Amino acid sequence: MTDEATQPLWYKNAIFYEVPVRSFYDSNGDGIGDFKGITEKLDYIKSIGIDCIWLLPFYDSPLKDDGYDIRDYYSILPEYGTLEDFDLFIQTAHRMGIRVIADLVLNHVSDQNKWFVEARSSTNNPKRDWFVWSDTPDKYKNVRIIFTDTEKSNWTLDPNSGQYYWHRFFSHQPDLNFDNPEVRLEMINVIRFWLKRGLDGFRCDAVPYLFEREGTSCENLPETHQYFKEIRKIIDQEFPGKILLAEANQWPEDAKKYFGEEDEFQMNFNFPLMPRIFISLAKEDAFYIENIISKTLPVPDSCSWGLFLRNHDELTLEMVSDEERDIMYSEYAKIPKMRLNLGIRRRLAPLVENDRSVLEFLYALLLSLPGTPIFYYGDEINMGDNIYLGDRDGVRTPMQWSFDRNAGFSRADPEQLFAPVIISSNFHFETYNVESQSRLPSSFLNWLRKLVVTRRRNVSVFGMGSIEFLHSENKEILTFLRIYDSSIVLCVFNLAKKPSYVTLDLRKYAGWHVRELISQVRFPDIGELPYFFTMQKNSFFWMELERRDESEQP
């Protein structure tokens, strides 16, 4: 029996790490990251306490959407290595106790994929019906456009046949027709192929858009849920313990539905929460976080939200109010080039002006809210970004390993790198790299390692525990309890950019001890009077509440 089968809820206690193979480490000096490279760097990934790696698409692709445009679902992009390199990577990761999931792109393919090449060759080609065609661009009028900066329509004319094909993303990414049973079956073949090779599950791309129905938004349709339930059933039967993580950027009510009745996705990115963490910070008001957490909970016991601060895309602002979007743009995207579509294309450290207290605050929040934290490669060393690169490339630059040539990413000539390393003065790789940050005991990286260890020591309460918000007079302070069996952790966060304080009614725990979780320092016991915290700007406390032992004197 596999480890996954014996620990079916492993993902609830895990920390994930998102990695593009292209950007991580170049083992053969061609300027592009590869599987051998990432295999060499597994020790580092282990050293930050990662339990599961999420690989961005590594399949054969013309790379017009960084691999989310797949040419062949059954092979690896040659620049990244061979299937044998992939196998060795998985085996090595597993030996080190690290699981691996990868992107599964169901909704669309590259226009260079042989299925589409065949389909467009003639209207009676057997593959024609694998895609969505129309004589006019007038169908599905109510459907929004996602890549608003590039696309004007979800239809593109195929001059060969005079028909239009449907695409929710770039026009070079035709959508598959999931009404066709052959398509549904082919994608299940893809799933089996990669799970048999050892993957521990998938991050499923663009989940809401699989089916189209006239008169709807063509998002979150019942048919889409039904198909994922079928996939889940197959996985549970044939590959127990392997997981599905949904990318469904939707409003809370729609996003939650992807957990099904514990028969659809085990995990789902908490898109509703992510921008509201930044809004709460900008407005110094706990309301936005508390309100959205209340709307996204509860989730079924075996399910978990994927919590993240940043990822490989723009910081998406599709599912926030106009007012909230305005707050985000004015606080975090002061230069027009920082915006893309309905979002902000910046990394975490530049987004918060590399403010150490804000960065600590954000990671502590990520590690203590209910859900599974997902880190984005490089954010742990406060990597900078490059808004002068096109599309989202500025947040996907080479990982910075050392202060050597090319930040230690590659031995190629600098001109040969797939993207330049970050050399802007405030984020220069000579400072922000794994080697330098590891050597400096007080670095953010070493602080984060300590925080991860602390979470790991208390993983049941953070991974499985319930949440209870405590209220005070002060809207700048976010306060909640995480509770699991007899373990209780009190979490207090000061959202304000200046010192603040809070008094809490903790009479329910009168007589209990209070211990700061990271340092293990004892604080005064709880009494009948309000419990009082003074807080530095953007600071936090994780406090363990311990019931007094019967034998102790009051």
- Which residues are the active-site residues? 205, 247
Q: Specify the residue, 392 or 513, whose C-beta has the smaller distance to ligand NOJ.
A: 392
Q: Specify the residue, 168 or 256, whose C-beta has the smaller distance to ligand NOJ.
A: 168
**Given 18, 26, 65, 476, the residue binding ligand NOJ (CB under 6 A):** 65
Q: What count of other Cβ atoms lies within 10 Å of the Cβ of residue 132? A: 23
What is the rounded end-to-end Cα distance, in angstroms, of the chain?
51
Which residue in this structure is represented by tokens 């809820």? 9
Q: Specify the residue, 274 or 490, whose C-beta has the smaller distance to ligand NOJ.
A: 274
Q: Which of 281, 246, 450, 266 has the alpha carbon at shortest distance from 365? A: 281
169 binds ligand NOJ (CB under 6 A): yes
Q: Which of 435, 400, 445, 434 has the alpha carbon at shortest distance from 419? A: 400
Contacts with ligand NOJ by CB under 6 A: the residue count is 9
391 binds ligand NOJ (CB under 6 A): no
The C-alpha angle with vertex 396 and arms to 84 and 250, in degrees rounded to 5, equals: 100
Do the beta carbons of residue 511 and residue 526 sit within 8 Å?
yes
Report, in Å, the least distance between residue 379 CB and ligand NOJ.
Answer: 16
Nearest residue to ligand NOJ, by Cβ distance, number only = 68
**Contact letters for ligand NOJ, residues 493-522 (x by CB under 6 A):** ------------------------------
Q: What count of other Cβ atoms lies within 10 Å of the Cβ of residue 198? A: 16
376 binds ligand NOJ (CB under 6 A): no
Report, in Å, the least distance between residue 16 CB and ligand NOJ.
Answer: 15
Q: Give the C-alpha separation, 366 to 379, whole Å.
A: 13
Q: What count of other Cβ atoms lies within 10 Å of the Cβ of residue 497? A: 15
**Given 14, 21, 109, 206, the residue binding ligand NOJ (CB under 6 A):** 206
- The tokens describing 215, both together, are 């008169």
Report, in Å, the least distance between residue 197 CB and ligand NOJ.
Answer: 22
Report, in Å, the least distance between residue 206 CB and ligand NOJ.
Answer: 5
Q: Specify the residue, 205 or 212, whose C-beta has the smaller distance to ligand NOJ.
A: 205
24 binds ligand NOJ (CB under 6 A): no
313 binds ligand NOJ (CB under 6 A): yes
Identify residues 67-86 at the interface with ligand NOJ (CB under 6 A): 68
The one-character DSSP state at 336 is G
205 binds ligand NOJ (CB under 6 A): yes
508-514 long-range contacts, Cβ below 8 Å, gap at least 24?
509/545, 511/548, 511/554, 512/545, 512/546, 512/547, 512/548, 513/545, 513/546, 513/548, 514/490, 514/543, 514/544, 514/545, 514/546
Report, in Å, the least distance between residue 205 CB and ligand NOJ.
Answer: 5
Do the beta carbons of residue 394 and residue 74 sit within 8 Å?
no
**Contact letters for ligand NOJ, residues 212-251 (x by CB under 6 A):** -----------------------------------x----
What is the binding site for ligand NOJ (CB under 6 A)?
65, 68, 105, 169, 205-206, 247, 312-313
